[in-house]
Structures are given as structure tokens and as C-alpha cells.
Amino acid sequence: MTQVYDLIDRIFHPESVAFVGVTTSDPFHWTRTFWDSARAFQFKGPMYPVNPHGGELDGYKVYRSMADIPGNVDFAISTVSAKIAPKIVRECAAKGVKAIHFCTAGFAETGEADVTELQQELVAAGRDTGVRIIGPNCMGIYCPESRLSYDTGFNKESGDVGFISQSGGNSIYMIREANWRGLNFSKVVSFGNACDLNESDFLEYMIEDPKTKIIAMYLEGVRDGKRLRQLLEKASRKKPVVLVKGGCCGEAGARATSTHTGSLAGNDAVWDTLCRQLNIIKPNNMEEMVDVLATLKFMPGFKGRNVLLVGPGGGASVMLTDEFERRGFRLPAVTSEIKKELLGFSQAAGNMLSNPIDYSQSMQNPGSMQKAIQLLTQWAEVDFCVGFFRPSQMTEGFLDMVRKVDDMINQAFGASLKPVAHIIEGGITPARQIVAFEMIQKIVAAGKPVYYSFPAAAVALRLVADYNKRKTANS
């Protein structure tokens, strides 16, 4: 393993952590984020709160300075203001700290000369002392395995997605949303202004990390384009890579990435070409990225363009068909042989003789419906199946029935050997949303991908089908 690998592996698995700048006075203050999260995750090593006011925090002694800490410290999370950040680096160095994460904003991303200088001072302090820096202006490390997090609510289970995110907010969105859809992470890093450790360093690590099976990246700018390109090439040969490039579409986007993380955005066409060449999946936004990750994880190796669509509602069936055909999928027509077979065992199946299957007329006879769907999911011409449900188009009485029927569909789908996905649209009113939430949880528990809208499903499935096809062609 490389030197970078060892360094970053150490950062993801520190033995002890100092929380520099955590406040004791206000339990809701943002400087408590990392402390509270490490406590909620039950970080196993020593934890040292550091604040010049001293005192006590959750029963822990608060140290007035790094020098006062009795034990060894190998990682520090700093929430001090930008102005004293360089000083903290030197104090940490004296204590033997290997790396510091600076959450603090107010550096080069502001574009103001004096604070840009401050970032340069920070870089100099790191270089002089050998202490490595994550940030500034970022959320740092989420690693369930070593029980470090930047939100108390993230899943505590480890998973196989590694995520390298320049933005803290986008990473919080991603983790929450992915967790909710049954995806867990091996490691996440939000690295912000990348004044020292950058996207390439973390990518070099994720490529080799045995716990990371899928690599996701959110980038705004790049420090060393050539190195990143080489690493992306290596990564994409080894693992699926999904990359969202922020600030891609015009002047204001470039300006926004500069204000956000002090990055130069680069031309979108270049990124598109690069990703096509390397078979890197490039969704347009974070929502699409979660959809793609769920597809990669829960429909491994899924291929082909022939889909069977199943759900209640004629109009909804038409709309869903449009979204799939618009993106190059095909819905094979049900053959006369299958029709005959369906009609052989049930009158109710008579309403379900075409693809898309609108089962709303057959719901009074759920047993036959289930049998019909089982039969259709085994049909050789179909590559994969998608079930859909839109609670908002149901009349009140219908909703309860569909809820029950949906369980049966899931069972029928569960018995299929083909890849299966579900679309559960959100409800409009809180009551309907609860129904949607329940259904989503069941699907996630069954290990299937779930999408929130017709277009979202078609977009993600197409991106992953293309990826799998190119991968097969190249291997």
C-alpha cells in the first residue's frame, strides 16, 4: 500500500480524537456537532474536548489547550474560527497529531484577500509541521466502522459505498437519503476547500480500500487534473464509479463553486467525455446519484432494455411507459401463448393481458392477480420488472385495498429471478405520505431499489444499464 493509503487509513481509524473549539455552554451550538456524533456512535478511543474556558462536558474534563491533554492524540476535529486555525495546527503538531479536520468556513472560498491569505498561512503551518489538513470549510469524516460521524442520525452500520464529497451539505443529503433506501457507507469524507488533502488522495485510498465496493464522488473543482484522471482510470477498472460534477453548466455555477469551496469548476464537456471514456456513471445531481447507487447495489449486473411494468391505474401506466420509452427501454407485448395461459386459470387475469400491466381492475381477486404476476415475471422476453404505486391518485377507499394488494405484488416480485425495482411516489397529504413511507420501508427491507418518481426510475435504470453493457463489452 502507498503512503497516502496508510495516512488516510489512519485518519479514518484514529485511536484518539481531540475536539478543538467545542463549546460547553450551548448544547445546540454547531461546534457540538462532532462531539455529539462521536458520543452517539460510541467512539471507542479516548475523546478530548478542548476549549480555553475549561470546565466539563458530558462528564469529560475539558482541556484548556492541546498541551494539557495527558494522553496521545492522533486526530483533531477543529471548530475554531479561521483566524486562529494556523495556531491550532502548530499546537496539534507539538502534541503529535497526524491530521486535523477544520470544519470552519471563512477562508479562500470567500474570495476576500485577507482570508485567502489566512488559508495560505494554514497551508504553511501544515507544511512546516507535517500535520495533514482536511478542509477547511467541510464536515470531515463519517466512518461507521470506527464510530466517527458528523451527524448523530446517520446509520451506525457499515456498508460498501465509499463517498468523497467536496460539499458537506450535499454529503449529508446523500448519506441520509442513501441510508433511508437501504444503502450504507464504508467511509465518507467531506473535504471542502482541499487546502492540503484533496479528492485524489481520498480516491487513491478508496481504490485500495477492501471495504469500499462502489465509489461515489461529488466534485466542484480539481487541484491536480492529471493525477485525478489517472486515478479515475484506475478506479473505474476496479470498481463502479459514480461522479456528480457541481458547477458544470455555466458562469454562475463556476462562481458558486468558487464561493462554496474556492474551486475552479472546469468545463462540463470535458467531464462528460472523460466519464464516457472511462465508463464512469455521471448523474446530473445528488438525487440521481442516490438512485444510481441503489440500482448498482440492489440490481447487480442488471442488463437489457426489456421491461415489464406493473401497477394500479391506466393513466399512470401510460405515463410510466412514456418515461421508459422516452429513455430507450422497450415493453415487449404479451404473447398470445401467455395470454392463453393467464386466462386458463383466472377470469381476473383477463384485465392484465398487456404490458404495462394495470391491475386496478383485478384487485377484487388478489390471489389470481398474484399468480398472474408471478407468471409474467418469469416470461423470457423480459429483462427486469418495475412495480409502481402512486398513492395520490387513489380515492380514499381504494388506498387501503392497494396497501394490502401491494404486499402481494412484492411477494410475487420476490419470487422472480429477474432484477426487480419499485417506484413509490410520495403522497401529497401527510396521511398518504405515511402509506408511501411504509411501502418504501418494506421494499428496502426486501433488498430492492426504490425510486420516488417515474422519470427518476427510468433515468437511473438507463444509466446503470448502459454502465453494465459497456463494462461487459470492455471485459
Question: C-alpha angle with apex 445: 441 to 450, nearest 5 degrees?
Answer: 60
Q: How many CB atoms lie within 10 A of CB 316?
A: 21
Residues numbered 231 to 250 that lie near its own copies (CB under 8 A) are: 246-250
Q: In the bound complex, what is the minimum distance in angstroms from residue 308's beta carbon to its own copies?
A: 10
Q: In the bound complex, what is the minimum distance in angstroms from residue 158's beta carbon to its own copies?
A: 20
Residue placing its CB nearer to its own copies in the complex, 263 or 279: 263
Residue placing its CB nearer to its own copies in the complex, 29 or 61: 29
Residue placing its CB nearer to its own copies in the complex, 97 or 183: 183
317 binds its own copies (CB under 8 A): yes
Q: In the bound complex, what is the minimum distance in angstroms from residue 449's beta carbon to its own copies?
A: 15
Residues numbered 191 to 220 that lie near its own copies (CB under 8 A) are: 218, 220
Q: In the bound complex, what is the minimum distance in angstroms from residue 95's beta carbon to its own copies?
A: 28
119 binds its own copies (CB under 8 A): no
* Choice from 213, 455, 462, 469 touching its own copies (CB under 8 A): 455
Residue placing its CB nearer to its own copies in the complex, 47 or 357: 357
Part of the chain binding its own copies (CB under 8 A), chosen from 59-67, 76-84, 102-110, 373-381: 102-110
Residue placing its CB nearer to its own copies in the complex, 166 or 198: 166
Q: In the bound complex, what is the minimum distance in angstroms from residue 263's beta carbon to its own copies?
A: 10
Q: In the bound complex, what is the minimum distance in angstroms from residue 287's beta carbon to its own copies?
A: 7
Residue placing its CB nearer to its own copies in the complex, 257 or 377: 257
224 binds its own copies (CB under 8 A): no
* Choice from 51, 119, 212, 261 touching its own copies (CB under 8 A): 261
5 binds its own copies (CB under 8 A): no
Adjacent-strand bridge partners of 216: 163, 242
* Choice from 397, 417, 473, 475 touching its own copies (CB under 8 A): 397
Binding mask 41-80 for its own copies (x = CB under 8 A): ----------------------------------------
Q: In the bound complex, what is the minimum distance in angstroms from residue 103's beta carbon to its own copies?
A: 12
Which residue type, as a one-letter code, is found at position 113? A
| 9 Cβ neighbours under 8 A, 6+ residues apart | 1, 205, 209
Phi and psi for 450 in degrees, rounded to 5? Answer: -130, 135
Residues numbered 406 to 435 that lie near its own copies (CB under 8 A) are: 426, 428-430, 433-434
C-alpha to C-alpha distance for 140 and 161, rounded to whole angstroms: 16
Residue placing its CB nearer to its own copies in the complex, 63 or 389: 389
CB-count burial class (<10 Å; 0-12, 13-18, 19+) for 312: buried
Count of positions on this chain that bind its own copies (CB under 8 A): 88
Distances (CA, A) of 35 to 170, 333, 344, 365: 21, 58, 65, 55
* Choice from 65, 375, 393, 446 touching its own copies (CB under 8 A): 393
| 396, three cell numbers | 380514499
C-alpha to C-alpha distance for 236 and 280, rounded to whole angstroms: 6
Residues numbered 275 to 314 that lie near its own copies (CB under 8 A) are: 284-287, 312-314
Residue placing its CB nearer to its own copies in the complex, 158 or 306: 306
Q: In the bound complex, what is the minimum distance in angstroms from residue 10's beta carbon to its own copies?
A: 26
390 binds its own copies (CB under 8 A): yes
